[in-house]
Structure 1
Amino acid sequence: MIVVFGSLNMDLVMTVPTLPKPGETVLCPGYQLKPGGKGNNQAIAAARAGAPVAMAGCVGPDAFGSGLIENLVRNGVDTTGVHVAEEATGCAMICVDKAGENFISVASGANLTASAARVPDEALGSGTTVLMQMEVPAEENWALIRRAHGLGARTVLNVAPAADVPTEILKLVDILIVNEHEAAEIAARLELTSISEMGLARDLARTCGVTCVVTLGGAGALMAEPGGALWTAAALKISPVDTTGAGDAFCGILTAALDAGMSPEDALHRASVGAAIACLGLGAQESLPTAEAIDARLADVSAPLRLS
């Protein structure tokens, strides 16, 4: 079982000719409302990848909130842990250009009331994987990590958006997922000196005793294990339509594969392929792939290569 503790937003998506610069207004023909939020996206990514998933977080007492809950249910996610707060549901404005790159602004709303205490102890045993991101209050993540670790659950932390993570917390995390910029920020706070992504991944793994996964966009991903094993995974070659949900797809699919008992390198392979497939449609969720869709493209990319 996977428990996702995180954000739920409604996304306002605009396809624009170019991303706006400071002070610039860019016109587009229209917009679409789409379910989003990193926690929400990752929960649905894991569910579509075949895992049993429960979502824990907050929405508001409005149409956006009820729509998000209904969407989770349609995707097979347990919504018992989704609390309806007094604040408005979180909302994100997303501009996507012709190359699939994006510009995102988020109003957190009800996500700021998410509470780790609403995740019961009985949901945090040794058969549970807890997946978190950084769009809810950080101290609630830390509280849940401490409790989940103490109760024997596997903990997965995606440090996105980038944030300061206490060293004490990093050492309680089993899987750390970051992009190259997030990895560099965490390493700088720990006074680690490597400048390459490979060196950063290895240093973070050794220093914190964590399996560190660094996503590299179109260049694939790296994974460093505390014992010294280092893996590199190639990316599936695609022409991206919208990269908004790629990172969330990667996190959800990797966690689903680990929860199913796959090896870390096989999970890395599936996540890299699935994240690329998620870039082939507009919006963070519609293009999240099923397990069958991932299976169909695995052979198109070589298996991860062990470098050490």
Structure 2
Amino acid sequence: MGRVFVAGSINMDVVATAERHPKVGETVAGEAVLYFPGGKGANQAVASAKQGVPTTLIGRLGTDAFGKELRTFLAAQGVDLSFLKDTSGTHSGTAIITLANADNTIVVVPGANGLVDADDVAAPVLAEGDVAVSQFEIPLPTIAAFFGRARAAGATTILNPAPAKKIDKALLDLVDVLILNETELGLLTGAELRDSDDPASIAEAARTLGRGKTVCVTLGRRGVLALVEDQPLLVPGREVRAVDTTGAGDCFVGALASQLAIGKQLGDALAYANIAASICVQRMGAAPSMPTAQEVAAILSPSRPGRDDEAVRKAHSSNQSSHPPPAPV
């Protein structure tokens, strides 16, 4: 079995709930203020660890009260924190989130996350069959150093380029699996994309990110479109009642990484991760909403009433067989 290493951000999410989002310059009355552990790195690490796969988080916390709470929470989720540093003189990462009608707006203040450096990601020793995951909430040179070491070790690299920003070709060339949503795909490629665009249009935009890598575009309730060896693969979404979509993309990334680490084929890993994300959106919070392997297995169960989704059947079939450790895809 391979392991998952996540180099990324750790935040405390401060969530204000309201009936609707304010317009620019407007004040609206809120309903509640909630505090949830989050940050894309932490979310993805928790999502992976809760699938029972050895998962290490590489990052930094401040020495403030949020930092102590976040460390305690992550340890309780089974995440290996051997390479998580406490950094004096700065605050822990913080995200200010407004949640209304299951949609959110987010402002992220990096704090200690902005200080994660090449020395931090050089400390863990990766091996062939491992999976290295990162996102854009830590410095890009740090991600490049992390992926360079991962590639040299024979590990698979997964990049979630969020929050979206222009990506250097040298970094993109180090990526085996790129996971992003329609908005991020549009920003990276300059394509005019809408929620209603057909899969062919999305696939065409994804192709401009270069051949030789797998590009997965998460489509919310529509599922996920993956471009594998230049061929589109559509995994349909599940109809659920969404409560909070804040951590859905991170859940997908972490669950996918966990399945690749244990040797699942990419198509089966995509279907599994899609189910995990559909469970996540039915709960409040980011990291606390990540489902366990048992919860995903309950949906994959052949005895579950109404199981007629082809992607679910395919994922279940994969769960009953073993595969060799994944090569970079």
1:68 match: secondary structure: helix
Encode CA deviations 1:208-238: one digit per residue, 9 max, x unaligned.
Answer: 4111111011111011113x33210011101
Alignment partners' CA distance in 2, 1:60 and 1:185:
31
CA 1:305 to 1:182, structure 2 compared with 1: closer, same or farther past 3 Å?
farther
More displaced 10-residue stretch of structure 1: 7-16 or 148-157: 148-157
Q: Match of 1:31?
A: 33
Q: Match of 2:222?
A: 219
Alignment partners' CA distance in 2, 1:30 and 1:304:
36
Q: Note the C-alpha offset of 1:257.
A: 0.8
Q: Match of 2:76?
A: 74
Alignment partners' CA distance in 2, 1:111 and 1:208:
31
Which segments of structure 1 move beyond 6 Å, counting only runs of 4 or more?
A: none
Specify which of 261, 281, 285 is matched with residue 279 of structure 1: 281
Amino acid aligned to 1:94: I
Are the aligned partners of 2:44 and 2:250 in contact in 1 as well (CA < 8 Å)? yes
TM-score if structure 2 supplies the norm length? 0.86
Residue 198 in 1 paired to residue 198 in 2? no
Q: Structure 2 matches for 1:132-147, cutoff 5 A?
A: 132-147=134-149
Alignment partners' CA distance in 1, 2:60 and 2:42:
10
Q: Note the C-alpha offset of 1:292.
A: 1.3
Alignment partners' CA distance in 2, 1:301 and 1:24:
44
Are the aligned partners of 2:121 and 2:145 in contact in 1 as well (CA < 8 Å)? no
Q: Note the C-alpha offset of 1:304.
A: 7.7
Amino acid aligned to 1:101: D
TM-score if structure 1 supplies the norm length? 0.92
Q: Which runs of 5+ in 2 are unaligned?
A: 192-198, 301-306, 315-329
Specify which of 47, 53, 56 is matched with residue 54 of structure 1: 56
Amino acid aligned to 1:110: A
2:98 match: secondary structure: strand
Are the aligned partners of 1:258 and 1:267 in contact in 2 as well (CA < 8 Å)? yes
Q: Structure 2 matches for 1:229-268, cutoff 5 A?
A: 229-268=231-270
2:72 match: secondary structure: helix
Q: Note the C-alpha offset of 1:166.
A: 1.4
Alignment partners' CA distance in 2, 1:20 and 1:214:
29
CA 1:143 to 1:202, structure 2 compared with 1: closer, same or farther past 3 Å?
same
Alignment partners' CA distance in 2, 1:90 and 1:121:
22
Are the aligned partners of 1:167 and 1:208 in contact in 2 as well (CA < 8 Å)? no
Q: Note the C-alpha offset of 1:76.
A: 0.5
Encode CA deviations 1:278-300: one digit per residue, 9 max, x unaligned.
Answer: 01111112221111111222346
Alignment partners' CA distance in 2, 1:38 and 1:300:
32
Q: Structure 2 matches for 1:111-130, cutoff 5 A?
A: 111-120=113-122, 123-130=125-132
1:267 match: secondary structure: helix
Q: Please report the RMSD computed on the Cα atoms of aligned residues, expressed in angstroms.
A: 2.0
Are the aligned partners of 1:148 and 1:155 in contact in 2 as well (CA < 8 Å)? yes
Q: Match of 2:97?
A: 94
2:289 match: secondary structure: coil
Amino acid aligned to 2:83: G
Q: Note the C-alpha offset of 1:36.
A: 0.5
